[in-house]
Structure formats: structure tokens, C-alpha cells
Amino acid sequence: MDKPRLGHINFINCLPLDWGLTEGGLGAGLEIRPAVPATLNSLMVSGELDVSPVSSIVYAQNPDKLLILPNLSISAPGALQSIVVVAKRPLADLGGRPVALTAKSATSHGLLKIILGKAYGVEPEYSVSSLSLADGVLDGADAALFIGDDALFAYHNRRSGLLYYDLGDEWRKLTGGAMVYALWVADRGFAARRPDLLQLAYDKVRDGFRYGLTHLEAAAAARAGATPLTAEQVVRYIGLLDYRLDEARRQALTNYYRLAADRGLIPAVPTLAFAAVKP
């Protein structure tokens, strides 16, 4: 193995890293596999990737297989526009009603179930759907959960008669804290066998974010035509996100795991085990 296999989220929320890997030249020496979060989750758990971002809940489901890379995450202190519920009725009225969950992620499923159960006291009938609003997902459901670029498009192109809820804001109102949506993780076996390649991948991701955030306006202008947002909207959206995993966000992550465990969404609250890389 000469190159570490790196998963890469192909949503706007990872534009800074994407720009660093491509325009900043930091993708050299990596085998990069872009995909939606749900696909990366599966590839990481099946051992087909060495390092990747995964939905936060995936780490809690596989703590014996994965190690967290330090100070990297996709987090937000509040509303973030890219995890959105579009509903035909208020959230408080969704008890027993059909709710469609996006097929592209996993953490957001638990987030919505916790919010509806604890904040609104309702238990809908959940199902997973890959349909969009344009495809008619609300023809068979009273509400639908979207993430990533699909959510951004829905948030910025609202339809009359529908209700829009930002789950980042709903989480902040429920817990008073931030939400950690994704983590970068390494396969434990890979970390043990090739610590040199693990350090290489970590350095590339860390420096890729630094490069992309430094050149964010240029990145947004160049990629705006390929996204549902204008360049200005991309810059404002990235400004809502936080890519660190400091002590405050580690506590927020543990709080999410605690609430998820209370609902039986994960077996137990895992210990946060970090890969031995030089930050």
C-alpha cells in the first residue's frame, strides 16, 4: 500500500477541504474516494477505506474498529441550513404520522428522533427514502428530513404551505449546546500497521481545511455554478460551520451519545479514543 484510501464528502460543507485537496495540491499522495456520507459510513465500516469522515453516530456503533482523528469534525453551534425538516404540519403534530428520513446520512436520523421525542413528545412512523421534494417524497409522508445540498436547496427555495425546521437550531434549543455531525476516523488496523500513512492522511486533511478556509471566497466563486447556492450564500453557509473538535465539542458529542443511548439508538456511550498522530 503506497497511498492511504481517504473518503471525502462531496457536499458543499466540505468545500474548504475539497479546494485544499484539489487547488491546493494537498490531494497528492492520497487515493481519494468522494461519496455521500451514508456510502462513506459503509465503506469505512467494511474496511474499504483507511481514513474518512463518518456520521458521528457511526463511531458510537463501531468504537472497537475506529479511532477518532484529533481536532477535526463537522460541527455547528446552532442553525446551519443543511439539516432540514420540511413538513406539512407542525412538528408537535407528527405523532404516529409518516416521516421520511434521508438515505444519505445516519447521525441526522438519531438527531431528529431525539428532538421529536424529547422536545415535542411525539413518535412518528419513520421510513428511509431517497426521494426529493421534486420527486414527491411528501406525497406519502407528512414530513421529510434532508441533509447536505438537498437541504440547502430546500432551505433556500421554500414552497408556500410547507413548514421548514433547521435541526441545528432545534438541537441548540433542546440542549443549549453545539452539535457534532461528523468525525474523521481511521481504521484501527490501518493505524497500527501504517502509522506513517495515517500521519500523512491526517496532515493532508488538516492542511487541506486550512488552505480552503484561507481561500474560501475564491473556492465559492469557482464552485457556485455547481451548487444550489450563490457564491455569497456558500460563504455565509460555511461560516455557520465549525471544523474543530475541541473540548467543548467533545462534550457536545458525548451529550449526543448519551441522549442517543437513552433512546436505544446506540448500545452505550463510547469512550472517545483518538488516533496517535501529531497535530
Assign 23 to helix, strand or coil. Answer: coil
**pLDDT tens sequence across 101-158:** 988 877 889 999 999 999 999 999 999 998 888 888 999 999 999 988 889 888 888 9
CA quadruple 170, 171, 175, 177: dihedral sign: negative
CA 201/CA 4 separation, integer angstroms: 7
Ranges of H-type helices in the chain: 15-22, 37-45, 56-61, 107-114, 148-156, 167-175, 188-193, 195-214, 216-223, 231-239, 247-262
- Average per-residue pLDDT in the chain? 94
CB atoms within 10 A of CB 119: 15
Residue type, 276: A
Closest CA to 248 of 180, 187, 161, 185: 180
Residue 150: what pLDDT?
A: 86
CA quadruple 11, 16, 22, 28: dihedral sign: negative
Is 80 exceeded by the pLDDT of residue 47? yes
**pLDDT tens sequence across 72-105:** 999 999 999 889 999 999 999 999 999 999 888 7
Measure CA 268 to chain center.
21
Residue 35 banded pLDDT, cuts 50, 70, 90: very high
Residue 102: what pLDDT?
A: 86
Whole-model pTM? 0.92
